[in-house]
Structure 1
């Protein structure tokens, strides 16, 4: 059957009436009654039941369910469980659930009840309905129906983990051997037998692709109608002008093969790739990335859509049942370079067809991807954006509704006089979002000082305001900032733990234990009112891990350090390893460098570590855009005509301010501006800096501004921002802030810095601790205005696109919700 052509007879509108008493679909009076089938009524109300496996989120299967409900808006809905927070796509309808809904931890561990699902689905009573429509990727098609009922099953796939993906499922679940493996194999064997037996009660199968249709035939020995899933192509607009980059976007799980795409582009340094998405494979992907590959992580829908519109091609290496993103890219007029298996064969027109929309590669290897990219690049004009858009429209929501309703109408005699209802769409659900509306978070931080970690936490709690309580282990400006945002804050007395330092300084053991116990007790009391503990600093993580154990709450640590001997003492590293085993459910790292160091120290699994770059607001810097630099310098008592190099961080040995001062000795025509103060017992280092200034005659050229509230004004007052850490920096917030201030940035090449700066493109990098190299780079910047302008333009673009606050906050919130829900 050619599915590109829709039969006019099937879709021609026919009048429909409704029974006023029951408001259900009825046949048109006077229409010729069809032949009865197994006792089905030819006139009168037709009651419809829709069965879905489980309702916990809004993803691909739920997009299909949404449109089935639109076809039959008066239908009743049944599901094993229903834990939806946002019900707009179901039009607010209630759902009848199974006994699994009330089992312990069903909200987060519903998949663990797989052995009970066949029994549970069979207990759903749909005997009062004339038509049963199941939306099934697991057990929904096994609902019990009688001889006078018509059962139509829209199959997203036969149970993958029980059939052809069993061995992959067992391997990923670490169930390849042992008693648990034997039990799992017995359960899956039972599931296969049950799955085949219940297929006999389905009157008509609908598959979401030819690929799944073949699976249905192989497993059930049944034919099926192919009706492609609905894609919201109207949310994507055609873009004729393309930028010079390729795009891939996906959840980073093994079968998506994102690492292969990145590996391929790493071998093509002249071609740019943008990667959007996150997941368990993020570290593997980042490890293979080269400067021409930009890893953006999770991004909101509008950012994804913008990149899909501007990309010269969308690269897709997975073997998918269907592949919605492939269609979405084409809806933007963007051609596709895809693995030639699975659903892509049905959604992409090959280069050898008329009006082609993409190219296929034959193997899931880097070499095969490279070959397809080179083939595409030879003549990209073969693929017209208008042809891509036209092809995508075959998979529109309207097309799905017409096809599916028409199929049901032809299958059910009593509906042959009915027409597709005029849709009154619910509020739009633009993309999957975590079920976080009811999320309650206890955020804990050890400091009252406004450091980089606290500024980043402030962005998160501002977004979660009504659902977060913050606990600090010290008072200070941070508490006031939180109060100004209307956030609930408690300050606990840290006792002797205040004297614990990264490099191993500790108070007497008895006092330390007493202080820890006091903080844990207070934290446990507050944690019991929350769903997840969010620890923002290392000392807070230790208290959180212990408190989470007692309170029975998962703990997420936002890791903002590189946990290595260069940054931490041996005792602190041992405590971190112990806490990782004791009570950490998940880690959010602020860079791949931080994530790697933590994984190496603790052997924490990649699936429990996510990289989310710090989000930094451009607003304070934009507000100063029209303020003359002379005004800012006068306010800060800085010289008007000097070439100023700014350093912005607390004064600490590892931050390397001494390297900048040594470079000032080599560059007598420059001034250094040091913004920051010693915070954690580092006053001796400040004294050494001032002594160096005095002994080298730098008094008139080095300006100690101390702690400053308005960092944006300080940055806009200088000519260059220098980041001089002598040990690897976990992230480098100052670098992004410098880019937002529209100042050229020079930074030490180590740690998270290399994930921000593309050397020579949006900033310059030097060897850590090398004062001569820093002096030479600063001299080059001073003499080359064109270079400064180019770095500023590219740097600002990088900061806004890659390190915006929206993507950062949404990424953290999504992880917290996922951990809280036990997913």
Structure 2
């Protein structure tokens, strides 16, 4: 397995198979052990025959410094036993999301000099250190080991299951390669290194006797275990996040390799081979110690991109003609990820690749092998591949990759452990609740955030805040100025929420229409005092809306806390009254530490209004999870329409927004008047005193004989299902939209999108490529574009394909949460430093 490369992963739901298993057990009256299976703080009175809910589990990992191949396995083991305690030699994680924010008990190496960066140098001390972990209070010990974790001390009444990524490679069959690459082939240092490795081997063999059951990540590693420890191992392949990779049928004319640039990965050989094939293009993604060596070998047909975020890696994997892999890996996660994209693999024919790639001897091949780690052998394999492109099917590649899903790993590993622990037999695999990647749950002593929002409804701003809160919930408190569905959603996410009485501020509107000044000030100060009291236990106030920003600024002054405003509006006279704009200018001058804008359009308008410092305004595009949309991908559209009581055969154009004049629903109604085959579906309710506009829309429908072709669905919780029922998603705002969340949601729902050309919308849609644009308020132009879409199936399919790619690559939740979190951290750190 690759223990070096660290890649971000996307949020993913539990699989249908896992959910079905869990639901069936629940309906039968079984008790799912997700919470009670492991109870830290309670010692089992008697291990033998005791009820499963008293079983205590410890999970031991070698070291926690990054998120790579071994840590992906650890993540899923923790998901199987969410109440377990976690141990490691050292813990220097920044992103703690994959271990669900668990505290980690470490060894004395944690406190040794330069341990954060030089922990590997303490290899001679690692056997001693791992044996100092006291696990005597646990019934089950699970070690995740590629170095020394399997050497923990356990007693005769404890069950020790060891998932072995590999016996210590540099101490066994790869010792001579390790010494050569480390330039330790001769001299006193070489002698010392060989002596240490000899000692490690002896210790490694001896400690294997304390393991009750071995699990290996491949048959290749199982053979190593048999050779080294003289023990058999069950093979459970490591989890691959195949759900984060979508199949892509249309391949482009380039090859891809991606890896950390270290010697054993042999990236230099791949680059050297392609330098001798100038007619073939190679893209290289990754960074590491060998970067300069590899750059020196690159020819003009080789593009070396360096480190790239996950979205870029996934995009290139999906589009590549083939993925080239030259390492002898224990397993090789990237090989499976490529196949999950429908991309065949050209791989070195040793190690784990032999178990994950089906070569030309198979009736449904997913790649082919080369026999030697030489440039000539790679060239021959590439030429062989290019000569028979029709032999490889993207669908076959994807089907092969799905054998290695994370859900299957959890089911198999949980069953393996339960079969060896009598007290766990008959228990159920806990339902999977995926952690948010990139938004690490930190210890309580680090960043603490007070999020403030004025609304209890689930509008776009609240849905965007919900993504942040779910990811940072262990470090975040929330204050609302009104109760409603948003508070319910926060409760479900397990987030502490306080609802304050908004008083007269509830009647304030962007365009003025405020309550009497005295009543308003009294209500504001009441909110300020209550917010300041809660801010004192936090490091930063994070205001999500304009009214909450004003309260936050005043509360920040009282509590001496910095305030960050997440600006989700275009602050102009088109959206705000004169008094509100003056208040925003005052707050920016006297109380705001930083501003996060949801688009460049929002940022420009704010800076133009306030002259706020450019370096304190940052754009972070809203992030929207693809999970609820992907979950409905295979549900027939007719089923969704039947569920919503919509006509089955009509051409449905959906509008998704609260009913408000500036949102422009009337423009859509005007556009369909002369198009009898089209229906308009309005999803959303009148909020914030806009009932008169809804009445106007309904009167328009009656007046123009549209009663049978306009469907008012009101507020809907399941936006994904509603969008899936549409033929087109229309976004018709008549004034500039700050961002346009609905546009991204429409793209994720795989529906063509038409939007008004203004504001942040133009930062999402490129006209004719991933969506269509028309002038704001122009019903005739909107009608023309709708007719164009209805009559041009090819255009619809093109917009859907490119739109979905835009949404997942540029507006995913990982980059969004990480961007907001990093800004909050910097602001809080700056305040502390000051």
What TM-score, normalized by structure 2, do the two folds share?
Answer: 0.51
- Does the alignment pair 1:691 with 2:699? yes
Match of 1:89 in 2: 117
Instruction: Give the total of aligned pairs.
Output: 455
2:483 is matched with: 475
The residue that corresponds to 2:464 in the other structure is: 456
Where does 1:336-415 land on structure 2 (aligned, <5 Å)? none
Q: State the partner residue of 1:652.
A: 660
Partner of 1:662 in structure 2?
670
Are the equivalent residues in 1 in contact too, given 2:540–2:561 (CA < 8 A)?
Answer: yes
1:813 pairs, out of 784, 796, 821, with 821
Match of 2:683 in 1: 675
Equivalent runs, 1:235-634 vs 2, <5 Å: 301-303=309-311, 437=443, 438-634=446-642
- Indicate the residue corresponding to 2:36 in structure 1: none
Deviations 1:342-362 (A, max 9, x none): xxxxxxxxxxxxxxxxxxxxx
Q: Deviations over 1:207-258 (max 9, x none)?
A: xxxxxxxxxxxxxxxxxxxxxxx97688996687999999999xxxxxxxxx
Looking at structure 1, the residues matched to 677 and 263 of structure 2 have their Cα atoms a distance apart, in angstroms, of 59
Question: CA–CA distance in 2 between the matches of 1:562 and 1:544?
Answer: 19
CA-CA distance at 1:77 after TM superposition: 4.2
Q: Does 1:730 pair with 2:738?
A: yes
CA spacing shift, 1:305–1:662, aligned 2, 3 Å: closer
d(CA) in 2 for partners of 1:524 and 1:275? 47
CA distance in 1 between counterparts of 2:634 and 2:680 reads 24
* 1:776 corresponding residue in structure 2: 784
1:629, CA displacement in angstroms? 1.2
Structure 2 Cα separation of the partners of residues 798 and 498 of structure 1: 38
CA distance in 1, matches of 2:712, 2:701: 11
Structure 1 residue 550, shift from structure 2 partner: 1.3
Shift of 1:630: 1.2
8 Å contact from structure 1 (residues 448, 476) kept in 2: yes
Structure 2, gaps ≥5 residues long: 1-91, 96-108, 123-259, 288-302, 321-333, 335-374, 380-436
How far apart are 1:553 and its partner, in Å? Answer: 0.8
**Alpha-carbon separation, structure 2, partners of 1:235 and 1:541:** 51
Distance 2:720 2:690 in 1: 25
SS of structure 2 residue aligned to 1:747: strand
Query: 2:667–2:777: 8 Å Cα contact kept in structure 1?
Result: yes
Q: CA deviation at 1:626?
A: 1.6
Once the two structures are TM-superposed, the CA of residue 91 in structure 1 deviates from its matched residue by 3.7
The CA deviation at 1:467 is 0.8
The aligned runs of 1:13-412 (5 Å cut-off) are 77=113, 88-89=116-117, 91=119, 301-303=309-311
CA–CA separation in structure 2 for the residues paired with 1:478 and 1:597: 28
Contact 2:441–2:474 (CA under 8 A) maintained in structure 1:
no
**Residue 749 (structure 1) shift:** 0.5
Q: What's the CA shift for 1:525?
A: 0.4
Question: Does the C-alpha gap of structure 1 residues 640 and 458 become closer, same or farther in structure 2, counting only changes over 3 Å?
Answer: same
Q: Aligned partners of 2:121, 2:304: CA distance in 1, in Å?
A: 40
Q: Deviation per CA, 1:383-420: give whole Å up to 9, x if none.
A: 99x99xxxxxxxxxxxxxxxxxxxxxxxxxxxxxxxxx
CA shift in 2, pair 1:701/1:305, >3 Å: closer
Contact 2:441–2:472 (8 Å) recurs in 1? no
Quote the Cα distance in structure 1 between the aligned partners of 2:655 and 2:811.
21
Note if contact 1:678-1:686 (Cα within 8 Å) is conserved in structure 2: yes
What do residues 100-130 of structure 1 show as CA deviations (whole Å, max 9, x unaligned)?
A: xxxxxxxxxxxxxxxxxxxxxxxxxxxxxxx
Cα 1:708/1:798, change in 2 over 3 Å: same
The 2-side partners of 1:500 and 1:274 are apart by: 55
- 1:700-711 → structure 2 map (5 Å cutoff): 700-711=708-719
- Aligned equivalents of 1:719 and 1:274: distance in 2? 41
The answer to whether the 8 Å contact 1:620/1:712 transfers is: yes
TM-score by structure 1 length?
0.51
Contact 1:471 1:492 in 2 (8 A): yes
Cα pair 2:440 2:472 within 8 Å, conserved: no
Kept in 2, the 8 Å contact 1:673–1:702? The answer is yes
3-state SS of 1:556 partner:
strand
Asked whether the equivalents of residues 672 and 701 of structure 1 are also in contact (C-alpha less than 8 Å), the reply is: yes
Equivalents in 2 of 1:447, 1:626: separation in Å?
A: 35
- How far did 1:705 drift? 0.6
Deviation per CA, 1:261-293, whole angstroms, max 9, x where unpaired? xxxxxxxxxxxx9999xxxxxxxxxxxxxxxxx
Give the 3 Å change call, closer, same or farther, for CA 248–89 of structure 1 in structure 2: closer
SS in 2 for 1:479: helix
| Cα distance change, pair 731–233 in 1 and its aligned pair in 2 (3 A) | farther
Superposition deviation, residue 434 in structure 1: 9.4
Q: CA deviation at 1:775?
A: 0.2
Q: Are residues 1:721 and 2:729 paired? A: yes
Offset of residue 800 of structure 1:
0.9
Offset, 1:809: 0.8
* CA-CA distance at 1:90 after TM superposition: 5.4
User: How far apart, in 2, do the equivalents of 1:233 and 1:595 lie?
Assistant: 45
Cα gap change, 1:528 to 1:245, in 2 (>3 Å): same
Determine the C-alpha separation between the residues in 1 that align with 2:695 and 2:304: 46
Q: Is the 8 A contact 1:659 1:771 kept in 2?
A: yes
Distance in 2 (alpha carbons) for counterparts of 1:818 and 1:530: 14
The verdict on how the C-alpha distance between 1:493 and 1:791 changes in structure 2, with shifts beyond 3 A counting, is same
Matched, 1:742 2:750: yes
2:385 equivalent in structure 1: none
Q: Classify 1:638/1:75 alpha carbon distance in 2 versus 1 (closer, same or farther; 3 Å).
A: closer
Aligned-CA RMSD value: 3.7
Instruction: Decide whether the 8 Å contact of 2:734 with 2:776 is kept in 1.
Output: yes
Q: 2: CA distance between counterparts of 1:543 and 1:746? A: 37
Q: CA deviation at 1:89?
A: 3.3
1:519·1:543 contact (CA, 8 Å) conserved in 2?
yes
Cα distance in 2 between the residues matched to 1:660 and 1:476: 29
**Residue equivalent to 1:24:** none
Change (3 A) 1:300 1:529: farther
